[in-house]
Structure 1
Amino acid sequence: MTQPSPDYAPDAEVTAIARDLIRIDTSNYGTSDGPGERKATEHVAALLDEVGIDVELYESEPRRTTLVARWEPEGVDRDAAPLLIHGHLDVVPANADDWSVDPFAGEVRDDCLWGRGAVDMKDFDAMVLSVVRARARAGVAPRRPIRLAFTADEEAGSGLGAQWLADHHPETVRDCTEAIGEVGGFSLTVRDDLRLYLVQTAEKGIAWLRLIADGRAGHGSFRNDDNAVTELAAAVARIGAHRWPNRITDSQRGFLDAVAEAFGIELDPEDAEETLARLGSIARMVGATMSNTVNPTMLEAGYKVNVIPGRATASIDGRFVPGGREELLATVDELIGDKVRAEVINDQPAVETEFSGALVEAMQTCLQAEDSGARAVPFLMSGGTDAKAWDRLGIRCFGFAPLRLPPDLDFAGMFHGVDERVPTASLEFGARVLDRFLTLA
């Protein structure tokens, strides 16, 4: 394998690339009203074309564009299965009035890059592009063939992006056996000489439900013992008040064991709330993975104050741990009662893989090379990613977007939050780790 020259710098472009991507508005409103990903995808295509990497663009709908590239330069082990490296290009919308900076200006302030997508997930997109471009220019091949996928629509469930690609063009990635993408690889500082880097090995499944209550319509001044609004409101209240029992998965147990060892404490997984509080800002993220969760999010009923409507509906966001889908649906059915029914409107599986193997060993080695206090640990994420699509094709998926973070940064709050930002030093760290990773993975 060709060795890089002394001036080889895989992190040199990462902040500039992330800045330029943030400046391309790819807000995903969950409808066809947004700008789409086409402009950003064409920008990524130009960056790869400049260093001789051919790409293919796929559109599920106008402007909803996904890019796939095959990178197999001279020097790769062609007998090894390709590694899929994936990132999405869409972002959730941002209300500029709420921000301290223009969310689409890509401003660098206080040693951080600010803007929508700085954390979710144009930071990782930029890390990958910076490393791949540096290697392509220098003729430094990865160990194995690489598939790059920059997808559309992840922020709305991937139906027009990774899920669509898996359904209509599975040949683009089917030969991959493993993948890395979001959300994972970020640090949790325990003490000056110890940082846990959380590698996502699992993510909760999704069960979005619509609750429907039918009753007797009538005048608002009449007595009505068959009021759809009353029945729905009672069902929603029961769901909101329900306390779900802990369900500890293999990934969660591995994380909890690592936390207990790092802090030198005895940890009862059935009563871990006090310990989780010591994790700082990520306690919310980890706490959401201890059990199934269901949250009411939308209500709709009526059209006039003096008319009792014949129907009322609610939407609820259900998330289940691996193996927890049937329990979630059965519990919701019990809570809503006989006069309300539930319809599934989005059903996506939980994903889990083992925290073991050569790829995991490479992650640990590369992290420690850049941070002597690094320790990689598995974790279960409460949200969903494109990994759900790749998992359907038999690909083992890991969340590994490495970032060494300041201990006081509210990283969990950056996801979909106001004033989203990432330290530029963290971006550069991530690029260097990924560069080493491509040599070993």
Structure 2
Amino acid sequence: MPLQWSHVDWTSVGEEATRDLQQLLRIDSSNPPGNEVEAADFVAERLREDGLEPTILTSAPDRVNVITRIEGSEDLAPLLLSAHLDVVPAHEDNWRYPPFAGERKEGFLWGRGAIDMKNMVVMSMWMMKLIKRMGQPKRTVIFAAVADEEAGCHYGSHWLVDHHPDQIRAGYMISELGGFTLHLMGKRFYPIQVAEKGQVELLMRTRGTKGHGSMPKRRSSNTKLAEAIAKIGKTKLPRHMIPIQQHFLNEVSNHLPFPANKLFPLLGTPLGEQLMRILPDEQSEPLDANMRNTVAATVLEAGGKGERNVIPGESRAWLDARIIPGQQPEDVIRELRAVIGDEPELEILDAQLPVWIDDYQDDLFGLMCEAIRRHDPEGIPVPYLLPGFTDAKAYNRLGIRCYGFAPLQLPKDVSFSGLFHNVNERIPVDGFQWGLKTLADVVTSFAGAR
């Protein structure tokens, strides 16, 4: 007999899903080097236990993607759930608990990938298990557990789009990165990602005359590179406000007390430059980054191994540029040239264009908002532009409407952004189980599974 929504034992399901996440956190799927085999096998086996038939797609040695689908009874645009299996590397130094031990301590699950994003792997896996138990849905639902998101999606979502598009073709996609609690002035906001910035990887190169370290050169390649990096660090690029950003500011301001409710919408105006200065850095920095193209120097390289007394003839810096929806790689290069001048050489190594949904207020977005309000009556859903990078950039190539909604309720003293790629990455158990039920509310409703 099919499982009824009203008969789901959420305490039991929540604890079982928590144990699944604990097990998945104990699997080291660090990228680099990028080995998702064990994590993929775990997910596939858990799906098979409910009679599902996952497809294993290997894009390269040790690079594995798992695709599972439940066919719908009606001709509705399919829903794709996506989550990546790989995580950024972690070293035990300064961790309270080992990063691949999956410890359940102090009300949290600790480990690399707890937030980014094995939590969503497990939640999506459980969406499939629950729908399977409920019987055939009206809408086809697909789950893709993918490789390589942390290194550009080349062996994961982009590879699937290029080589197996029919396995993942859908009308809608839910993945990271939204649905988390954002505490602001005593209110609980839940950003729902409807757009994300593009990424442009640049190589900046400076040249000079190679020489002996005992005879410094005023315009060495290192000096030129250091000057250019200093200019980048001290200079903000021009603002580019788009409607989604202003919608976010307006929605947030509607729930803030006076005078914040009058000032917050002004953050998107020229006056916002001054207003940003009165906000704490942890609030102003992400807000400001979403209003302009940004460039950050990430890796520096100069000189040869052991040549500590040699002035190099060439110096290099890798730059991570993020561009606002509607902008192109050439736009950020033009803005960067205005800062560093014409001498440093710039080379585009990789470019991934922004993703956004102009008309985001559709039925799926509405269900997300309703679920937030239902499971947290004081919660306030708001549209959100992500400054980072997700698999949505690949799925957007198939014309899929991509949303970031991996629900997670966080206590006030835990910063969501502070957990990403950081030591002591962790997820509150209660908040994870809250997110599991909230996501299930959305997915089963949209799929017509109940």
Normalised by the length of structure 1, the TM-score is 0.91
Quick check: 1:86–1:151 contact (8 Å CA) kept in 2?
yes
- Residue 427 of structure 2 is matched in structure 1 by 422
CA drift of 1:204 comes to 0.9
CA drift of 1:279 comes to 8.0
CA drift of 1:437 comes to 1.0
Q: Are residues 281 and 232 of structure 1, via their aligned partners in 2, closer, same or farther at CA, if it must alter by over 3 Å?
A: closer
Aligned counterparts of 1:317 and 1:189: Cα–Cα separation in 2? 28
Tell me the secondary structure at the aligned position of residue 7 of structure 2.
Answer: coil
- Residue 63 of structure 1 is matched in structure 2 by 62
- Residue 204 of structure 2 is matched in structure 1 by 211
Q: Are residues 195 and 393 of structure 1, via their aligned partners in 2, closer, same or farther at CA, if it must alter by over 3 Å?
A: same
Aligned counterparts of 2:127 and 2:194: Cα–Cα separation in 1? 24
1:201 and 2:201 matched: no
**Greater mean alpha carbon deviation, residues 113-122 or residues 285-294:** 285-294
Quick check: 2:185–2:256 contact (8 Å CA) kept in 1?
no
Quick check: 1:213–1:311 contact (8 Å CA) kept in 2?
yes
Aligned counterparts of 1:260 and 1:139: Cα–Cα separation in 2? 41
CA drift of 1:401 comes to 0.5
Q: Are residues 282 and 13 of structure 1, via their aligned partners in 2, closer, same or farther at CA, if it must alter by over 3 Å?
A: farther
- Residue 350 of structure 2 is matched in structure 1 by 346
What one-letter code is carried by the residue in structure 1 that aligns with 2:175?
Answer: G
Aligned counterparts of 1:206 and 1:364: Cα–Cα separation in 2? 28
Quick check: 1:282–1:410 contact (8 Å CA) kept in 2?
no
- Residue 166 of structure 1 is matched in structure 2 by 161
The correspondence for 2:414, drawn from 400, 409, 417, is: 409
What one-letter code is carried by the residue in structure 2 that aligns with 1:178?
Answer: Y
Aligned counterparts of 1:237 and 1:278: Cα–Cα separation in 2? 24
Tell me the secondary structure at the aligned position of residue 333 of structure 2.
Answer: helix
Quick check: 1:12–1:130 contact (8 Å CA) kept in 2?
no
The correspondence for 1:242, drawn from 235, 243, 263, is: 235
Quick check: 1:364–1:374 contact (8 Å CA) kept in 2?
no
1:17 and 2:17 matched: no
- Residue 331 of structure 1 is matched in structure 2 by 335
Aligned counterparts of 1:223 and 1:18: Cα–Cα separation in 2? 56
Where in structure 2 are the equivalents of 1:278-289 lying within 5 Å?
281=282, 283-289=284-290
CA drift of 1:103 comes to 1.0
User: 1:245-294: per-residue Cα shift (whole Å, max 9, x none)?
Assistant: 32222221111111211114113113446469768855543332121111
CA drift of 1:224 comes to 4.4
Q: Percent identity?
A: 38
Aligned counterparts of 2:217 and 2:420: Cα–Cα separation in 1? 45
Quick check: 2:180–2:406 contact (8 Å CA) kept in 1?
yes
1:400 and 2:416 matched: no
Q: Which 4+ residue blocks in structure 1 deviate beyond 6 angstroms? A: none
Quick check: 1:11–1:130 contact (8 Å CA) kept in 2?
no
Aligned counterparts of 1:247 and 1:58: Cα–Cα separation in 2? 40
The correspondence for 2:174, drawn from 177, 180, 188, is: 180
Quick check: 2:128–2:143 contact (8 Å CA) kept in 1?
no
What one-letter code is carried by the residue in structure 2 that aligns with 1:386?
Answer: D
CA drift of 1:368 comes to 2.0
User: 1:54-94: per-residue Cα shift (whole Å, max 9, x none)?
Assistant: 1111122111111111112xxx4421111010000111111
Which 5+ residue runs of structure 1 have no aligned equivalent? none
CA drift of 1:362 comes to 1.0
Normalised by the length of structure 2, the TM-score is 0.90
Tell me the secondary structure at the aligned position of residue 379 of structure 1.
Answer: strand
CA drift of 1:100 comes to 0.3
**Greater mean alpha carbon deviation, residues 18-27 or residues 6-15:** 6-15
Q: Are residues 102 and 241 of structure 1, via their aligned partners in 2, closer, same or farther at CA, if it must alter by over 3 Å?
A: same
What one-letter code is carried by the residue in structure 1 that aligns with 2:222?
Answer: V
Quick check: 1:13–1:130 contact (8 Å CA) kept in 2?
no
Aligned length: 431
- Residue 41 of structure 1 is matched in structure 2 by 40
Aligned counterparts of 1:97 and 1:199: Cα–Cα separation in 2? 34
CA drift of 1:375 comes to 2.5
Tell me the secondary structure at the aligned position of residue 148 of structure 1.
Answer: strand
CA-based RMSD of the aligned residues comes to 2.2
- Residue 108 of structure 2 is matched in structure 1 by 112
Quick check: 1:143–1:439 contact (8 Å CA) kept in 2?
no
- Residue 308 of structure 1 is matched in structure 2 by 311
Aligned counterparts of 2:6 and 2:293: Cα–Cα separation in 1? 51
What one-letter code is carried by the residue in structure 1 that aligns with 2:318?
Answer: S
Q: Are residues 282 and 93 of structure 1, via their aligned partners in 2, closer, same or farther at CA, if it must alter by over 3 Å?
A: farther
Quick check: 1:286–1:382 contact (8 Å CA) kept in 2?
no
CA drift of 1:209 comes to 0.7
What one-letter code is carried by the residue in structure 1 that aligns with 2:139?
Answer: R
- Residue 78 of structure 1 is matched in structure 2 by 74
The correspondence for 2:148, drawn from 137, 140, 153, is: 153
CA drift of 1:5 comes to 6.1
What one-letter code is carried by the residue in structure 2 that aligns with 1:161?
Answer: G
Q: Are residues 70 and 135 of structure 1, via their aligned partners in 2, closer, same or farther at CA, if it must alter by over 3 Å?
A: closer
Aligned counterparts of 2:344 and 2:434: Cα–Cα separation in 1? 52
Q: Are residues 406 and 420 of structure 1, via their aligned partners in 2, closer, same or farther at CA, if it must alter by over 3 Å?
A: same
Quick check: 2:355–2:393 contact (8 Å CA) kept in 1?
yes
Aligned counterparts of 1:5 and 1:261: Cα–Cα separation in 2? 34
Which 5+ residue runs of structure 2 have no aligned equivalent? none
Aligned counterparts of 1:234 and 1:100: Cα–Cα separation in 2? 38
Aligned counterparts of 1:260 and 1:67: Cα–Cα separation in 2? 42
Tell me the secondary structure at the aligned position of residue 426 of structure 1.
Answer: helix
**Greater mean alpha carbon deviation, residues 303-312 or residues 422-431:** 303-312
- Residue 95 of structure 2 is matched in structure 1 by 99
CA drift of 1:343 comes to 0.5
